[in-house]
Amino acid sequence: MALFSSLSEKLQDTFKRLKGKGKLSEADIDAAMREVRIALLEADVNFKVVKKFIANVKERAIGSEVLESLTPGQQVIKIVNDELVNLMGETESSIDFASKLPTVIMMVGLQGSGKTTSSAKLAKTFKKKGRSPLLAACDIYRPAAIKQLEVLAGQLEVPVFSKGQENPVLIAEEAIAYAKNNGNDIVIIDTAGRLHIDEELMAELKNIKELVDPTEILLVVDAMTGQDAVNVAETFDQNFAITGLILTKLDGDTRGGAALSIREVTGKPIKFVGMGEKLDALETFHPDRMASRILGMGDVLTLIEKAQETFDLNKAKEMEAKLRSEQFTLEDFLDQLQQMKSMGPIEDIIGMIPGLGKQAKNLQVDEKDLVRTEAIIQSMTPKERANPEIISGSRKKRIANGSGTKVQDVNKLLKQFEEAKKMMKQFSAGGQMSKKAKKKAKGMFNLPFFK
């Protein structure tokens, strides 16, 4: 299931009925708002937030901008989109950097929320932007917490300041001194968590806060816990005046209640969202883009950013030249496939494409198919990848055995490759697809946007 899939589907069904009407009455809007209210409550959005949201939308929707509009259904969707953006924070909230280095970011949260992993992800985000982060291991209680941070930091080639089981308050203080002496402009303090909020935990965190005076206090919460995440956020904010939040496991949250409630309840912005387990799966939270995805309108900007981070521009130009000269090989096909996989789960990528909406559910993208395709190509010799036409029956058997697949799978891949090559050549040449080509594309990829 994709991000916000349940809520998104219900909202899209509601608005589809509105768009089918030439004129809207107050009764139509009342009926639609009842359905929106139910959808939000089922998505585990805080009931007070739902009440205020519906009131705001309804107040605008029964005004002249909708009732006298030539496209009233679209106007209602625009209003809902605007109010969703307002609910989640209007604009992205970036990290505040200290005027006097280093910038100190204190990570807080309950045990199991993903705090240590998020600390490492945040360090990677800063490193990619040319900064020099230092991770401070101040979770001295959880078994292997320090080791976990060190392993993650080792993968990123980011330094960790650790003094074992010593006083975490002093570790935090010494980490900042170390950063000043070693040119680290950001210190990320990974503090201890508990299975629940208790006085001992709060006292320790308050002591660290008072001593190091952090620039940012980021609360890490698990999006999949829904209203529990909102309640935790409220309690931590009352105790520490947090500056922002990181929502983890948002990619696994089909409801979205936490993301839609936290800003309104706490008044504090979501700054980052965790969209997977990999160390690069931390995204800046953009309320406008998230609202667009919830309403099935895609997220082109995030899609472009992911592509820019993943795809090599020089390689792309080289690929276009190969397509034009008909030199595109299975080796190139494999390279493109691997780059696409590194952008994230295919289901999420499809969800960012505008216009698909509910139809994305029908694509039935199976990550195993991509793995199978990789295995088949990797079981070929370099000569076979460059010249697939030489792949005879006996070669197909060898390739199938080597990749753990069937000869039919090899045949299917070779056929898809030839069709894809023709289609991509047509696109690269700036040509228009014929109806026959579109029909082939739809059959090959089962993509409803080839109409």
Return the pLDDT at 1: 42
**In sequence order, which residues have a C-beta less than 8 Å from that of residue 83 and are 6 or more positions away?**
53, 56, 57, 60
For 303-445, the fitting CATH number among 1.25.40.10, 3.30.465.10, 3.40.50.12280, 1.10.260.30 is 1.10.260.30
Return the pLDDT at 381: 93
Return the pLDDT at 395: 94
Return the pLDDT at 442: 43
Residues of the chain with CATH 1.20.120.140: 5-88
User: In the Cβ-directed half-sphere of 175, how many Cα atoms lie within 13 Å?
Assistant: 34
d(CA 318, CA 321): 5
Q: Does the pLDDT at position 139 exceed 70? A: yes
Confidence at 342, pLDDT banded by 50, 70, 90: low
Q: What SS3 class is residue 160?
A: strand
21-56 residue pLDDT tens: 777 888 888 999 999 999 999 888 999 999 999 999
Confidence at 438, pLDDT banded by 50, 70, 90: very low
Q: What SS3 class is residue 161?
A: strand
Whole-angstrom CA distances from 71 to 11, 23, 68, 348 are: 18, 8, 9, 30
Encoding tokens for residue 411?
Answer: 């045949």
Measured from the Cβ of residue 307, the count of other Cβ atoms closer than 10 Å reads 14
In this predicted model, which residue has the larger pLDDT, 381 or 352? 381
Return the pLDDT at 399: 94
| Topology given in CATH for the domain delimited by 103-295 | Rossmann fold (3.40.50)
Q: Whole-number mean pLDDT of the chain?
A: 81
pLDDT mean over 73-93: 86
Return the pLDDT at 448: 33
Return the pLDDT at 309: 60
Return the pLDDT at 314: 64
The CATH classification number of 5-88 equals 1.20.120.140
Return the pLDDT at 446: 40
Cβ–Cβ under 8 Å, residues 223 and 250:
yes
pLDDT mean over 336-357: 62
d(CA 45, CA 55): 15
Residues of the chain with CATH 3.40.50.300: 103-295
Return the pLDDT at 445: 40
Q: Does the pLDDT at position 358 exceed 70? A: no
Return the pLDDT at 306: 58
Confidence at 444, pLDDT banded by 50, 70, 90: very low
Cβ–Cβ under 8 Å, residues 305 and 299:
no
Residues of the chain with CATH 1.10.260.30: 303-445
In this predicted model, which residue has the larger pLDDT, 138 or 426? 138
266-313 residue pLDDT tens: 999 999 998 878 888 888 998 888 888 787 765 555 555 555 565 565
